[in-house]
Structure formats: structure tokens, C-alpha cells
Structure 1
């Protein structure tokens, strides 16, 4: 028996029932907070939307997810500190960060998210554990 068996690697879009449940619960929580006139209700769909994009669509590396999260926190704190509670200004500042993270991931030879077979010339190396 091999003490270090390779995990079968896959590529492309993926979703589980737990992901769906989290998205549904987050949507209800966002809706409820919005109806309670909580000014920062939009943080939940922003974070969950990026969670879905990063974990299910583009399969972003954890360190890039953490960099994105840190920039999101700084972005939101800076806007709240300046008494800006609307979602548009932080969204406009965060969108380039999101695009940079996704582009960085998609240009990697380890990219295995959506359309990996069309985008990543080395996808077979990744899937066969040669990378």
C-alpha cells in the first residue's frame, strides 16, 4: 500500500450542497439585515460572492484569497471611517483587486478552474501531478 497516495485532481467548475446552503443562508441573512436598515448588509453578499468565485469557479489559491480578503477589510474600514456606508465606492475599489487575483490565478500553470482545458496549456501536467 502506498503511504502517499495521490489524490485524484480535477478541474473546472464545482459546487457542493454545502456551498449551496451557505449561499442560500447568506442571501437570507443579507436580505434580513437590509430590511433592518443595517448599513453594511452588502458585506455578506460581497464576501459570499467572492467565496463562490474563488472557491468554485476559478479555484483560487488560498494565499491569493487571503490577500483579497485583507484588501477588502482595509477597503471597507477606510470607507466606513470616512462615513461612507454605500456599497458602490468599496465595490469600485475592490473590483480591480478581484480582477487581478483572477487573472493571476488563470495565468498560472496550476490553474484548474473553469475553462482550464482551454486556458491552461499545462493542465494535463497539473492533473497528473507533474507540477
Structure 2
């Protein structure tokens, strides 16, 4: 007998009150940083936007989120090092990383994000906890 009750697995888009609060707080912080002429204000909406995509829309694995975050920090640091403060070059270079993370996740038999019912033929196995590495 399992002493810990299992949580029921679900699929698809998710949104909680905490997520909404984080999105609103990020928007306010971004606006305030921009009004203060902080040159890297755009990092907040970029990070919050990806948080939303990865945690609520595509339900990306934590290790892929961390790989994305490492790439993002290195990407922004390189652009700042070369005195490029505009957001578009960094975001342009980050886009393939974002797309790769999402594609990698969506091709997994453990994928349970948006459109999982149409994409993942093994979704029922994931939901019933029958998939094992």
C-alpha cells in the first residue's frame, strides 16, 4: 500500500492564481524598470514569458528549463559584453533554443502540455503512470 496518495495526472494548458499573480507582478516590474531607463528591463518579460510558456503551456521538464536558462544567461551576458543592450539580438539568438526545448518536449512520450491529446500517442500511458525510463 502506498502511504502517499498519488496525484492525478492531467494534460493541457494550466493557469493558477499564483501564475496570474506572477504574470501581473512581472508586468508591473517590467514597466517600472523601463520607466527608470534600466537598459535590461526586457529580461523580466522574457524570463516571465518563458516561465509561462514552459510551465503552463508546454509543461517542459525542469532540466530543459534549466538548459534554456543557462543559454539565456550566457546569451545576454555575451551581448552585454559586446555592448549590445537592445533586446532584439539576444531574443533572436535565444529563439532557436526556445524552439528546440519546446520541440524536444513535445516529441517525448511524457509530453502532456497543450495539444497533447492530438500529439502524444502515449498520453494515456503517461496519465496512468505506466511510462518508465
d(CA) in 2 for partners of 1:32, 1:117: 40
Matches within 5 A, 1:63-74: 63-74=63-74
Q: CA deviation at 1:4?
A: 4.3
Provide the residue aligned with 1:14 in structure 2. Answer: 14
Q: Report the Cα distance in structure 1 between the residues aligned to 2:75 and 2:30, rounded to whole angstroms.
A: 20
Shift of 1:5: 3.4
Question: What residue is the counterpart of 1:24 in the other structure?
Answer: 24
Aligned to 1:116: 116
Shift, 1:101, TM fit: 0.1
**2:57 alignment partner in structure 1:** 57
Where does structure 1 differ by over 4 angstroms across 4 or more consecutive aligned residues?
none
In structure 2, the gaps of 5 or more residues are none
> How many angstroms does 1:90 deviate by?
0.2
Residue 109 (structure 1) shift: 0.1
Aligned-residue CA RMSD (Å): 0.8
Hey, what's the Cα distance between the residues in 2 that align with 1:21 and 1:7? 24
TM-score normalised to the size of structure 2?
A: 0.96
Give CA-to-partner distance per residue, 1:18-56, whole Å, 9 cap, x none.
000010011011001111110000000000000000000
Q: Residue 130 of structure 1 aligns with which residue?
A: 130
* Structure 1 unaligned residues grouped into runs of 5+: none
Please report how far the alpha carbon of residue 2 of structure 1 lies from its aligned counterpart in structure 2 after TM superposition.
2.8
